[in-house]
Amino acid sequence: MKNLVILGAGSAGTMMSNHLIKKLPKNWKITVVDKDKVHYYQPGFLFLPFDIYTEDQVKKPKKKFVPKGINYIEESIDRVSAEENLVYLESGQKLSFDVLIVATGSQIAPGEIDGMQGSGWHKDVFDFYTFEGSKNLRDYLRTWQGGKMVVHITEMPIKCPVAPLEFAFLADSYFKKKGMREKVEITYVTPLSGAFTKPTATKKLNYLLDEKNINIVSDFNVMQVDNENKKLVSYDDMKVPYDLLVTVPTNMGDTCIERSGLGDDLNFVPTNHHTLQSLEHNNIFVIGDATNVPASKAGSVAHFQAEVLTENILNFIQDKPLVPGFDGHANCFIETGNNKGMLIDFNYTQEPVDGTFPIPGIGPLKLLKESWFNHLGKMAFRWIYWNMLLKSIPIPFVKPKMSLKGKNIKTN
């Protein structure tokens, strides 16, 4: 018997187990390890604070999605020894592997910034990247009387990089609906050079900030959260005051990656951008948020990667060359508030542009443009996630490699 071990049963690990159970030869045993009983629909953490989704809509038991025939272990991973081809679990149990897939994702690390997890944490300083953060923020918002709301990105990369901007848009709608928009000042604070940084998106979307009356502070690299004076302080001593801080803390790979000596300075695993093989160990592959590839950290990306990685695992065990099949393809809905949404489709080299998707010239979805239909797409994504993505059922018309058809590409 040969052993394939998957670390993590989140979006990517679950997709890989569903692919591989059907494709791996019978003499392979698949083991999946995850510490958590609950599978969270993380995109729902954006909606929970505004009472758009309920708690039950964003969580289901993990086991339900891991297929039969897989050896599923519910435990914490301590570390990997790539030299011994062994995974050490916290209980002391060891798992040996012939092939390892790392799918341990990315987590928030608020401890990286002085004061972020201080006396205000989950009192007037919230994250919405965890279930607890998102739920606590919902409870806080239900009775909040208004003031300065600051929506903040600590540093890049973060998973779902548009989520904080969507949060600001949804906050605008939420307070309008509650009849208290004039009591809330919304400021968006980013370490990047603007809310939008790519040329086409900047041109087409900057109106959104004016329309929704969202202030923007750019090039802001936070050094400290001053809980007492309720201010974000940057390295060059700029200060942004808040009454309510909604921050996206530093995102990092799990600490088990650090203990294994497999990660970079943010515990992301150096990975071949196109084959998804680890750069250091031939029999280790990496997928989803755990990699250091310069693609967006998103569920849709994990879905596209899963198809390529499945092919490459099969190539690897048959001593065939790996295919450089992953092009950085991401396909993300962006909620813009007031029941409208946008869709972006892009890869490593092609920036998001306008056009139609998935059927060129027809749509029905519109790229880089607000529409009600796109909003329906975002809402349908939850169903698609639980019923198609996790089960690795292909999405009609949407291929792992990005298509240029239906896109208005400018040539210089």
Partner 1 sequence: MEKVIAGKTINVNEEGYLLDFDQWDKSIAEQIAIEEGIGELTDRHWAVVTWLQEQEKNKVALTIRKLGKSGVTDIKEFYALFPGGPLKKATKIAGIKKPVGCI
Ligand X SMILES: Cc1cc2nc3c(=O)[nH]c(=O)nc-3n(C[C@H](O)[C@H](O)[C@H](O)COP(=O)(O)OP(=O)(O)OC[C@H]3O[C@@H](n4cnc5c(N)ncnc54)[C@H](O)[C@@H]3O)c2cc1C
Q: Which residues bind partner 1 (CB under 8 A)?
A: 155-157, 161-162, 190-193, 196-199, 201, 205, 218-219, 221, 223, 235-236, 250, 265-266, 273, 292, 294, 296, 330, 332, 334, 344, 346, 352
Q: How far is the C-alpha of 401 from the C-alpha of 68, rounded, in Å?
A: 30
Q: How far is the C-alpha of 285 from the C-alpha of 270, rounded, in Å?
A: 10
Q: Burial-class residue 104 by CB neighbours within 10 Å (0-12, 13-18, 19+).
A: buried
Q: How far is the C-alpha of 301 from the C-alpha of 174, rounded, in Å?
A: 29
Specify the residue for token string 């519109």: 366
Q: Which is nearer to partner 1, 4 or 252 (CB)?
A: 252
Minimum distance of partner 1 from residue 76's CB (angstroms): 27
- 345 lies in the site for ligand X, by CB under 6 A: no
| Region near ligand X per CB under 6 A, out of 92-100, 189-197, 206-214, 282-290 | 282-290
Q: How far is the C-alpha of 298 from the C-alpha of 160, rounded, in Å?
A: 5
- 251 lies in the site for ligand X, by CB under 6 A: no
Specify the residue for token string 């670390």: 7
| Region near ligand X per CB under 6 A, out of 28-36, 188-196, 197-205, 268-276 | 28-36
Minimum distance of ligand X from residue 95's CB (angstroms): 12
Minimum distance of ligand X from residue 108's CB (angstroms): 8
Minimum distance of ligand X from residue 255's CB (angstroms): 7
- 36 lies in the site for ligand X, by CB under 6 A: yes
Residue 159 binding partner per list ligand X, partner 1, none, with a CB distance cut-off of 5 to 8 Å that depends on partner kind: ligand X
Minimum distance of partner 1 from residue 407's CB (angstroms): 14
Q: Lay out the sheet containing 184-189: strands in order across.
A: 125-126, 244-248, 147-153, 184-189, 214-217
Binding to ligand X, residues 228-247 (CB under 6 A): none
Q: 402 is written with which tokens?
A: 């990005």
Binding to ligand X, residues 160-189 (CB under 6 A): 160, 163
DSSP state, 110? G
Q: Which is nearer to partner 1, 120 or 164 (CB)?
A: 164
Q: Which residues pair with 244 in a beta bridge?
A: 149
Q: How far is the C-alpha of 305 from the C-alpha of 12, rounded, in Å?
A: 9
Residue 198 binding partner per list ligand X, partner 1, none, with a CB distance cut-off of 5 to 8 Å that depends on partner kind: partner 1
- 132 lies in the site for ligand X, by CB under 6 A: no
Residue in 4, 5, 9, 201 binding ligand X, rule: CB under 6 A: 9
Using alpha carbons, select from 324, 314, 262, 268 the residue that is nearest to residue 291.
268
Residue in 6, 20, 34, 305 binding ligand X, rule: CB under 6 A: 34
Q: 260 is written with which tokens?
A: 């294994």
Minimum distance of ligand X from residue 74's CB (angstroms): 9
- 45 lies in the site for ligand X, by CB under 6 A: yes
DSSP state, 291? B
Minimum distance of partner 1 from residue 266's CB (angstroms): 7
DSSP states along 144-164: ---EEEEEEE-SS--BSTTHH
Q: 188 is written with which tokens?
A: 């968006």
Minimum distance of partner 1 from residue 161's CB (angstroms): 5
Using alpha carbons, select from 286, 326, 323, 324 the residue that is nearest to residue 305.
326
Q: Residue 82: CB partners within 8 Å, gap ≥ 6?
A: 260, 261, 262, 280, 281, 284
Q: Which is nearer to partner 1, 131 or 346 (CB)?
A: 346
Residue 33 binding partner per list partner 1, ligand X, none, with a CB distance cut-off of 5 to 8 Å that depends on partner kind: ligand X
Q: 156 is written with which tokens?
A: 């890049």
Contacting residues toward ligand X, per CB under 6 A? 8-13, 33-36, 42-43, 45-46, 76-77, 103-105, 128-129, 159-160, 163, 254, 256, 288-290, 297-300, 302, 332-333
